[in-house]
Amino acid sequence: MFIYTVRPGNSVYYISQLFGVDRQAIIDGNQIENPNVLVVGQAIAVPADSVSHTVVQGETLHMLAMRYQVSAAAILRANPQITDPSLIRTGEVITIPSQIENLGEKAVNGYAFPSINESTLEKTLPNLTYCTVFSYQVKADGSLTQIDDERVVNAARQKNTAPMMSVTNIRPSGGFSSEIAHSVLTDETAWNNLLDSAINIMKTKKYYGLNIDFEYILQSDREAYNSFLKTASGRLHDAGFILSTSIAPKTAASQRGLLYEAHDYPVHGRYADFVVIMTYEWGYTYGPAMAVAPINLVEQVIRYAVSVIPNQKIFMGIPNYGYDWTLPFVKGTAAKPLTNPGAVSLAARVGARIYFDAAAQSPYFNYYDVSGRRHEVWFEDARSINAKLRLADRYGLAGVSYWTVNSYFAQNWLVLNSTFTVKKVLNR
């Protein structure tokens, strides 16, 4: 597969001819809203394994590398018959190699709300190892709210994807509750109520395992949470289920803050079958404009995580969304969430040019609205996804986890399936 960055004057037709790929495959694979309008700087995922290029008079290796956006070194590796890089002959057929090579098998988790669109669910499930349905909400006594999850669970199993039940300490009115977590974690009766209910639901609805996503836990409840995880691990394994946990993106054991302090990485690594590190939300709804998951900051988290958790238990979080901020940033104001294809469509409508930040390995653009206010948009594209997947491979992680898969992002799945073979753990 190739990732091509749109240049001035490019069209879908030009790209399809350049790589020898059907025009509609490019439109569908990149969810291009208006095929007549491409955005300069837009990343296009091109589903081609390689290109056979016949050299015309005057062409050089450098020119081919520029045209196909592949390094000259990669072209030389794919063409050992070229003995003199400064001399390629007219009429010679040269193989332009794919930019993305398969790096082997990885597991993939995707969080899905029960409301996920049927078509999106159908197209997404083959790309997942686990589908975690979000979420059952625990009450102070350990009892669980009920959700309409059977459609997603049954669909997952039909696609050989393991459904995971999710339990959170989210209050009925929304938002994670330190108080609910405290009530549950400091009362063994509540522990057992939660685990009894979860195990019963998993048996009845044919879940594969349980994901515990407790956030904003009081620092004073850290050891109680650790003890709960030990008990949960034993009970779930005895019942034939696996346990995963969601943990905040820490860079050190001593990291301060309500989001971080009670998440004890070594303990989660000991008792959970895998952990999902929520490596996103640096750029967030009520914060200043920046990349949602800048690769340089994500790597700092992963570097710490693998020092205290077995790397084959770690799933690196990947955001499936972006934000549109109004500038200048004013504390208390909210950015508007966008889907990744929606961000590109917005850039096309407002006539923006998309740029790619080298440090964050993330795309962004600016525009002015009808009121003359400047905006900044950060999102994910094939280039940023490629960078994240390669980071997961470099650290030997078990896999990656998407928050969330409710919005279909075709470009992502093209890159993922070119980079990894998706592991399947479920036999129907």
Q: Report the catalytic residues.
A: 215
Q: Hunting for tokens 């990669």 — which residue is that?
A: 74
- Nearest to 415, CA basis, from 379, 368, 393, 383: 383
- Nearest to 340, CA basis, from 319, 368, 314, 371: 319
Task: Return the number of other C-beta atoms located less than 10 Å from residue 399's C-beta.
Answer: 23
* Structure token digits, residue 324: 């549109």
HEC profile of the chain: CEEEECCCCCCHHHHHHHHCCCHHHHHHHCCCCCCCCCCCCCEEEECCCEEEEECCCCCCHHHHHHHHCCCHHHHHHHCCCCCCCCCCCCCCEEEEECCCCCCCEEEEEEEECCCCCHHHHHHHHHHCCEEEEEEEEECCCCCECCCCCHHHHHHHHHCCCEEEEEEECECCCCCECHHHHHHHHCCHHHHHHHHHHHHHHHHHHCCCEEEEECCCCCHHHHHHHHHHHHHHHHHHHHCCCEEEEEECCCCCCCCCCCCCCCCCHHHHHHHCCEEEECCCCCCCCCCCCCCCCCHHHHHHHHHHHHHHCCHHHEEEEEECCEEEEECCCCCCCCCEEECHHHHHHHHHHHCCCCEEECCCCEEEEEEECCCCCEEEEECCCHHHHHHHHHHHHHCCCCEEEEECCCCCCHHHHHHHHHHCEECCCCCC
Residues 107 and 396: beta-carbon distance below 8 Å: no
User: How far is residue 122's CA from residue 155's CA, in Å, rounded to a whole number?
Assistant: 8
